[in-house]
Structure 1
Amino acid sequence: MQQAENFRAESRALAAILEHLPEAEFHRETQFKGWTIDHVLGHLHLFNAAAEASLRGEDAFAAFIAPVLRDMQAGRSILECQFPWLDGLSGRALFAAWREGAERCADAFAAAEPKARLKWIGPDMSALSSVTARQMETWAHGQEVFDLLGHERQEQDRIRNIAHLGVATYGWSFRNRGLDVPEPAPFVQLTGPSGAVWEWNAPQDEDYVKGSAVEFAQVVTQVRSISDTGLEVSGTAAECWMQIAQCFAGPAENPPLKGTRYRAGQATPQAG
């Protein structure tokens, strides 16, 4: 599966900026809910391992995820749920474990049948969708690390996978908030890092989202406010969507406020 190699490449891109990071730097807070780099890596490591367990079958996944689900049902946050599994692993040792685990996860999915149905915390997914979700989460959580360290990620056309997830979860973004889904879905036209142009849904003159695929991915993964992008948004459905877009599972989350997520070293945007 090419998607497995895209996940591998995304993981390696994040690993490259952490390769020589001093131990103390792993405990710096990002702009995402006060999570540290350490917290980000722990989260990615746990759910990469969960995805790998899902490939081994329903029983293997159930056994792996049971302690996490118990903690969630006890009211612990998704961040707190990872600490028992990590068992004190942190800093450069966690970095090494996450990097090795990501490579192992990519290897496992590369050998998987793309259409195989896999158990997950939410609805079952195909293996292809599962590893694409791993790429999305690595890219999205990686953004707060890139931002904190002041690095500009060199984006590639594999971002199309994340943009596609964003388009595919149009309806979910509304239903997850108990809202009616506006129909038809807006036309989406995005330009990839290579200059390639990608389109989704029927062309419309009044209801559409156009612009950078990277900025679209930033909005649907909620790592940037729509107000901090140059996306061209027209029409009621498109405008409502871009205010609540969420391509990841779980309860409805609000996107960041304008000016609250940015790369260190840039002029700080005005929040509000």
Structure 2
Amino acid sequence: MVDLTALLTDLAAESEQLDALVAALPPQAWDRPTPAPGWTVAHQIAHLAWTDHVAHLAATDAPAFFATVTTAPDPSRLVDDGAASFLAPPAELLARWRDGRSALAAALSATPSGEKLPWYGTRMSPASMVTARLMETWAHGEDVADALGVQRAPTARLRHVAHLGFRTLGHGFATHGRAVPTAPVRVELIAPASARSELAGPATGSEDGPGSDIWAFGPADAADRVTGPALDFCLLVTQRRHRADLALIATGPVADEWLDVAQAFAGPPGAKRDTAGSGVTA
């Protein structure tokens, strides 16, 4: 059974960590470019605020959620236009993001058990929605940290991102126009040392316990395998680093191809990031 309250607690903590990173920035720092082409620090926070807003619509007003696509002038620019529409002076933008994520948490907490919420190209349980929001908050937080030259210590919350990265294996293949493999893949990740005793319980679907040195997903006897640091895996599936810059090892053809198309976020194929560290939006 998924503990939605615990997931929401982790999402709040992830949001608060990023909030603390930007809250004290001088106004000019919000205009600093991030690795996402054309996106400043302000765009990154505006994107999170906009996505929380549409997720709140998905949980409370499905017709209004669907209208975000049907009334969009250019659906291919939905994400960029959404972020741009939420841009505001830093204090106003920060307040908008804080209010929106609080409203979303309340709405998801009130969603009846078993209900699936509409989303772009799929439907999601409240728990999956929370996990996706945590993944996005962490990933866009990485973009902000890169722009500010800040090194963030990985936390046990990365386990949720890793689990989502594993669960979206088929999505990565499909969104890149490739046949979804039927062969299982085993993922064994080295947990960050700073994260091994933080998480109160195992992430849904993982086979290891809290505080373990290894976060494992998939059948233990699978021929195809991915191994390496959990942080590197999370950076790959969120397309924040190029595969060549990460210490991940793929064994078997399915695992090897997966690392080229892995994508934990919804929507069309991301632009990915080259080895110079440029170019990705999600």
Unaligned ranges ≥5, structure 1: 263-272
Is residue 47–residue 82 contact of structure 2 (8 Å, CA) maintained in 1?
no
Partner residue, 2:39: 35
- Letter in structure 1 aligned against 2:272: P
| SS of match in other structure, 1:124 | strand
Distance 1:205 1:83 in 2: 44
Distance 1:142 1:230 in 2: 21
Given candidates 30, 36, 39, the residue that maps to 1:26 is 30
The answer to whether the aligner puts 1:44 opposite 2:61 as a matched pair is no
RMSD over equivalenced CA pairs, Å: 2.2
Given candidates 257, 270, 282, the residue that maps to 1:240 is 257
Is residue 120–residue 267 contact of structure 2 (8 Å, CA) maintained in 1?
no
Q: What's the TM-score once normalised by structure 1's chain length? A: 0.86
Partner residue, 1:201: 218
Is residue 53–residue 61 contact of structure 1 (8 Å, CA) maintained in 2?
yes
The answer to whether the aligner puts 1:139 opposite 2:156 as a matched pair is no
The share of aligned pairs that are identical, in percent, is: 34
The answer to whether the aligner puts 1:16 opposite 2:20 as a matched pair is yes
Alignment CA distance shift 1:213-1:72 (3 Å):
farther
Distance 1:251 1:75 in 2: 9
The answer to whether the aligner puts 1:157 opposite 2:156 as a matched pair is yes
Distance 2:37 2:227 in 1: 29
Distance 2:75 2:224 in 1: 43
Partner residue, 2:181: 182
Deviation at 1:73, TM superposition (A): 3.9
* Residue pairs, 1:222-233, within 5 angstroms: 222-233=239-250
Partner residue, 2:123: 124
Deviation at 1:7, TM superposition (A): 1.1
Deviation at 1:122, TM superposition (A): 2.1
Deviation at 1:144, TM superposition (A): 0.4
Partner residue, 1:167: 166
- Letter in structure 2 aligned against 1:16: A
Unaligned ranges ≥5, structure 2: 197-211
| SS of match in other structure, 2:188 | strand
- Letter in structure 2 aligned against 1:8: A
Partner residue, 2:82: 81
Given candidates 230, 240, 252, the residue that maps to 2:269 is 252
Deviation at 1:140, TM superposition (A): 0.9
Which sits farther off after the overlay, 95-104 or 22-31?
Answer: 95-104
Distance 1:187 1:141 in 2: 27
Which sits farther off after the overlay, 184-193 or 108-117?
Answer: 108-117
Is residue 111–residue 126 contact of structure 2 (8 Å, CA) maintained in 1?
yes
Is residue 72–residue 81 contact of structure 1 (8 Å, CA) maintained in 2?
no
Deviation at 1:53, TM superposition (A): 2.2
| SS of match in other structure, 2:98 | helix
Alignment CA distance shift 1:152-1:110 (3 Å):
farther
